[in-house]
Amino acid sequence: MKRFRLACFFLTPAACLLSCAVSQNNAGHGGTEIAAPETAGAPGTVNVSGTAEAEILLDGMSDSEILAQTFMFGWQGAQPSPLILEWVRTRRIGGVKVFGWNAQNLETLAGTVAALQEAAIASPLGIPLLVATDQEGGIVRHVKGSTSDTPGNMAIGASAYPEDAYRSGFYIGRELSLLGINMNFAPVVDLATRRDSQLIGPRSFGADPVNAGILGAAFMKGQAAAGIISTAKHFPGHGDTSLDSHGTLPRIAAGENTLWERELVPYRIMVKEGLPAIMSGHLAFPDTPAGERPASLSSWFLNDTLRTRMGYRGLVITDDLLMYGAVQAGGNLANTAKEALLAGNDMILVSTTPELYSLFWTSLLESMRNETEFKRRVREAAGRILVLKLGYLENTTLVPDTQKLKELPDPEGAAFFRDLAARSVTLINGESSLPLTPEAAGRVLLAGQYAAFFSAGLKAYPGSAIYSFEDSGGAAEFRRMASNADTIIFCLADDEGQRLLEAAKNPGKRVIVISALNPVYVDGISRVDAALAVYSYSADSFNAAFSALLGRFVPAGRLP
């Protein structure tokens, strides 16, 4: 109960009651139907003054300007392309997305964001851009450079403290704000339901839906305190599939009731807390009324379930429409975008920049001018975008100051993330084998694939031999080197490493596993003396793991 009381500190009374009710239901205490929140004044609803201001803005906009607000585009290269600048200046699109290929140099990125935002503000209506990225923490960090390399969501789930989620969101958000980024496609609230999921894995807070909702809400509040708009993803849930929706359309065998009591629980909690934005996933759930339609193109998911049943009033943005599953479902990009808007999405994300007069634009504008229902839907969507901007961007520094980039990484954040890495270290088995001093370890072989693992290992056990997966001669070379060691410390992060360790039987050798990323691979190893889990490949995570191995602290994390 101590952890649950801590969790409730971060939640409104309504959300706290919801998390308690769902937790009891999942524990076998019978079904609990949660009513949709009241419209007037409830968390997750738009405020009346913002809606009125948005309506005034909409009345002064042309059809093309209203339509363009529903677009968020990416661009190639570090500098803003002439094409993306033209979309901002003449079409006045609603947002841009920063990908990893745009963020190789942070000073250049800040200049690019400044140029794009200044072009938007210089328009007659002066409507700023939503500037988004994927800075989830852990293994997904599109803006690198001197930003914090954090332990990630599963480490937060292992520590089990909502304050860790709050502060992670806050420090990640504070760094993004320095770069002029005002929207983060995080937190990921997909559940760790499918153990072999390569796409989600350590990006998840864990398998428990109530914990994921509580931690997601705390992360969201931390980002809000830093002036960042949170976007929970991937609605309704990407955890129960081993497939990657970037390359195919995953079909998940979960019915309506299962989704309501499992995948949708984090969203139900976060909606009560005022979640500003949700990303719809390109995922099919054939056992629901949506059938084979991707959730991102399904009005049953986005209107009937999300808006009507759950009472959500915030923004819905698609995952990238160029992903295979979405384009296949719609036939072409213009058709897919139209179907996505009609299904209930408010903003269309496209990872590249369409040509100004491509079918994508001309077809949608023609529908806007000639189809009453489509025009109504686009106006509604643009209204939500404007309400979000009025609520979040009025008091935000839109144009970044490159002089402030020297504040990266956030010094307070750096200390916090080191502590989080230590709090999240999880002893899976082998308590009696710890601590392992250098004297007791004898001759050590470090086997792994990450430079940070070897760096931390050599500090802990100076003079160790190194076997690198990437530079090695395969299993025979590993067996040869292992035969000369007393202790093997093996970094296990995938099924390839699992096969190598299992094939290279080393009787009489002490075997210590440090699991990085998804800890499920430890299950496939028949004999280890001890196994510790960390949940990222950051230097902080590996330093924490070796510190625990040396006995500098007792690992207290739990498998999430």
Same domain, 189 and 105: yes
Which residues, 6+ apart, have CB-to-CB distance to 520 below 8 Å? 195, 196
Q: Is 39 contained in some domain?
A: no
319 included as an active-site residue: yes
pLDDT in tens, 415-445: 999 999 999 999 999 999 999 999 999 999 9
Tokens of 124: 């007659």
pLDDT at 267 over 90: yes
Same domain, 206 and 84: yes
pLDDT at 413 over 70: yes
pLDDT of residue 111: 96
- Catalytic residue, candidates 319, 320, 346, 540: 319
pLDDT of residue 331: 67
Same domain, 357 and 496: no
Q: Which residue has the higher pLDDT, 197 or 49?
A: 197
Same domain, 142 and 189: yes
Domain edge (last residue) among 356, 376, 407? 407
Q: Which residue has the higher pLDDT, 113 or 44?
A: 113
Location of structure tokens 């000369």: 484
* Of 155, 146, 277, 151, the residue nearest 223 (C-alpha): 277
Same domain, 365 and 434: no
DSSP run (H or E) holding 16:
helix 13-26
Average pLDDT over residues 109-119: 96
Same domain, 325 and 451: no
DSSP letter assigned to residue 328: H
Q: How far apart are CA 270 and CA 194, in angstroms?
A: 22
- What 3-state class would DSSP assign to 132? strand
Same domain, 395 and 486: no
Same domain, 376 and 482: no
Same domain, 358 and 463: no
Exposure b/e, 184-201, CB count within 10 A at least 16 = b: bbbbbbbbbbbeebebbb
Domain of 539: which CATH number? Answer: 3.40.50.1700
Same domain, 365 and 444: no
Q: Is 516 contained in some domain?
A: yes
DSSP assignment of 453-506: HHHHHHHHSTT-EEEETTTS--HHHHHHHHHT-SEEEEEE-SHHHHHHHHHS--
Q: Is 161 contained in some domain?
A: yes
Same domain, 252 and 176: yes
Q: How far apart are CA 145 and CA 480, in angstroms?
A: 38
Same domain, 292 and 251: yes
Q: Is 519 contained in some domain?
A: yes
pLDDT of residue 358: 94
DSSP letter assigned to residue 281: P
pLDDT of residue 61: 96
Q: Is 415 contained in some domain?
A: no
Identify how many contiguous H helices and E strands the chain contains and give both numbers.
Answer: 22, 18
- Residue ranges making up the domain that contains 519: 425-550
Q: Is 38 contained in some domain?
A: no
Average pLDDT over residues 113-134: 96
pLDDT at 329 over 70: no
Q: Is 37 contained in some domain?
A: no
Q: Is 417 contained in some domain?
A: no
* Of 99, 90, 82, the residue nearest 120 (C-alpha): 90
Domain count, the chain: 2
pLDDT of residue 328: 58
DSSP assignment of 332-397: SHHHHHHHHHHHT-SBEEESS---TTSHHHHHHHHHHHH-HHHHHHHHHHHHHHHHHHHHHTTTS-
- Catalytic residue, candidates 29, 63, 246, 486: 246
Average pLDDT over residues 484-493: 96
Average pLDDT, the chain: 89
pLDDT of residue 238: 86
Domain edge (last residue) among 407, 438, 460? 407
pLDDT of residue 96: 98
240 included as an active-site residue: no
Domain edge (last residue) among 373, 407, 441? 407
Q: 236 preceded by cis ω (within 30°)?
A: yes
